[in-house]
């Protein structure tokens, strides 16, 4: 039984989460997505702990969309944990954040993120950025002929 999401989306701001999910759906992304509200819940989901103990740990997400500035456990801490794990380090991570801080950018790329995407201030612009991300992810996931 596959009870895992193909995309794990970690975002603490409800408005940003709604806009992002709608934009990904509008872009045609059909992957099953699971939204978590903080870094601690993201780790619980990935490692099948807390309320996710019944989830199959073999169902590793195919993509982690990760905000950096979250309560409980930051996105950087989530990234450090999974990238130091021989099994989970294979999860591709796209950071979707409002942080323009150079140390955050450098740390994320040093830890192996695939994309570092700045969230625009205006929701319409966020919708467009995420729509583009969804189309890009869909294109990248097509099998080679």
Is the pLDDT score of 51 beyond 60?
A: yes
Neighbours of 128 (CB within 10 A): 13
At residue 129, the pLDDT reads: 60
Q: How far is CA 31 from the centre of its chain?
A: 13
pLDDT of the residue at 136: 53
Nearest in space to 4 (alpha carbons), one of 31, 27, 30: 31
Q: Does an H or E element contain 132, and which? A: helix 123-140
pTM for the whole structure: 0.81
CATH number at residue 106: 3.40.50.2300
Q: Bigger pLDDT: 92 or 117?
A: 92
108 belongs to a structural domain: yes
Domain that holds residue 56: 7-140
Q: What is the mean pLDDT of residues 106-134?
A: 71
> Would 111 be classed as within a structural domain?
yes
**Short-list 123, 127, 99, 128, CA closest to 113:** 99
**Mean pLDDT, the chain, as a whole number?**
82
Domain assignment present for 77:
yes
Task: Report the number of distinct structural domains present in the chain.
Answer: 1
Q: What is the pLDDT of residue 126?
A: 54
* pLDDT computed for residue 107 by the predictor: 95
Q: What's the pLDDT at 143? A: 36
């Amino acid at each position: 039984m596959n009870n895992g999401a193909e995309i794990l989306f970690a975002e603490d701001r409800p408005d940003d989460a709604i806009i992002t999910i709608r934009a990904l759906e509008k872009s045609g992304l059909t992957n099953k997505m699971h939204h978590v509200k903080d870094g601690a819940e993201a780790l619980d989901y990935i490692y099948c702990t807390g309320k996710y103990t019944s989830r199959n740990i073999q169902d590793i997400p195919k993509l982690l969309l990760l905000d950096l500035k979250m309560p409980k456990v930051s996105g950087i801490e989530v990234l450090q944990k999974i990238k130091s794990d021989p099994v989970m380090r294979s999860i591709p991570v796209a950071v979707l954040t409002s942080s323009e801080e150079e140390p955050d950018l450098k740390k994320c790329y040093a830890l192996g993120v695939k994309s570092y995407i700045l969230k625009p201030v205006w929701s319409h612009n966020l919708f467009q950025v995420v729509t583009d991300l969804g189309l890009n992810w869909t294109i990248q996931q097509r099998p080679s002929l």
